[in-house]
Amino acid sequence: MSTLSILADNIRYLRLKQAPNLSQEKIAEKLMISRDSYAKYETAKYTPPLDVLLAISRYYHISTDLLLTVDLRKYKLEEMLNLPDNRILLPIKTDSLGENKIEIVPYKAKMGYLKGYADPEYIEGLQTMSLPFLRNGKYRAFPAEGDSMPPYKDGTYVIGEYVERISDIKLGKVYLLITRTDFIFKRIESINKKSITVKSNESFYENYEIPFSDLWEIWQHAGSYSPQELEIIDFASEDVKSMLLQLMQEIKELKAAIKN
The more confident residue out of 135 and 4 is 4
Q: How many domains does the chain divide into?
A: 2
Identify whether the C-beta of residue 221 lies closer than 8 Å to the C-beta of residue 175.
Answer: yes
Q: Is residue 246 part of a domain?
A: no
Identify whether the C-beta of residue 140 lies closer than 8 Å to the C-beta of residue 76.
Answer: no
Identify whether the C-beta of residue 38 lies closer than 8 Å to the C-beta of residue 63.
Answer: no
pLDDT at 71: 84
Q: Indicate whether 145 and 203 sit together in one domain.
A: yes
Q: Pick from 19, 49, 81: which residue ends a domain?
A: 81
Give yes or no for residue 36 having a pLDDT over 90. yes
Q: Indicate whether 161 and 75 sit together in one domain.
A: no
DSSP-derived pairing of the beta strands 195-199 and 183-191: antiparallel
Burial 153-185 (b: 16+ CB within 10 A, else e): beebbbbbbbbeeeeeeeeeebbbbbeeeebbb
The more confident residue out of 190 and 99 is 190
Q: Indicate whether 215 and 132 sit together in one domain.
A: yes
Mean pLDDT of 222-251: 61
Q: Is residue 61 part of a domain?
A: yes
pLDDT at 98: 59
- What are the two backbone dihedrals, phi and then psi, of residue 258, each rounded to the nearest 5 degrees? -65, -40
Q: Indicate whether 107 and 218 sit together in one domain.
A: yes
Q: Pick from 48, 81, 114: which residue ends a domain?
A: 81
DSSP-derived pairing of the beta strands 89-91 and 101-104: unpaired
Nearest to 46 by CA among 32, 61, 36, 59: 36
Give the helix ranges, DSSP H, for the chain: 3-18, 24-31, 35-42, 50-60, 64-69, 110-116, 120-124, 238-259
pLDDT at 8: 93
pLDDT band at 20 (very low <50, low <70, confident <90, very high): confident
Q: Indicate whether 114 and 76 sit together in one domain.
A: no
pTM of the model: 0.62
Q: Indicate whether 45 and 143 sit together in one domain.
A: no
Q: Indicate whether 137 and 200 sit together in one domain.
A: yes
pLDDT by residue (tens digit) across 148-176? 677 777 778 888 888 878 888 999 999 99
Identify whether the C-beta of residue 243 lies closer than 8 Å to the C-beta of residue 133.
Answer: yes
Nearest to 95 by CA among 79, 78, 113, 109: 79
pLDDT at 230: 47
Q: Indicate whether 145 and 215 sit together in one domain.
A: yes
pLDDT at 39: 93
Mean pLDDT of 95-100: 62
Q: Is residue 243 part of a domain?
A: no
User: By three-state DSSP, how is residue 239 classified?
Assistant: helix
Cβ-Cβ contacts under 8 Å for 253 (sequence gap 6 or more): none
- Domain ranges, residue 142: 102-225
| DSSP secondary structure letter of residue 99 | P
Q: Is residue 147 part of a domain?
A: yes
Burial 21-49 (b: 16+ CB within 10 A, else e): eeebeebbeebebeeebbeebbebeeebe
Identify whether the C-beta of residue 141 lies closer than 8 Å to the C-beta of residue 158.
Answer: yes
Q: Indicate whether 127 and 168 sit together in one domain.
A: yes
pLDDT at 96: 58
Q: Indicate whether 24 and 58 sit together in one domain.
A: yes
For the ranges 103-112, 152-161, 245-254, which has the lowest average pLDDT? Answer: 245-254
Nearest to 159 by CA among 101, 230, 223, 103: 223
Q: Is residue 181 part of a domain?
A: yes
Q: Is residue 235 part of a domain?
A: no
Most confident of 135-139, 224-228, 241-245: 135-139
d(CA 200, CA 47): 49
Give yes or no for residue 229 having a pLDDT over 90. no
- What is the average pLDDT value for the chain, to the nearest integer? 78
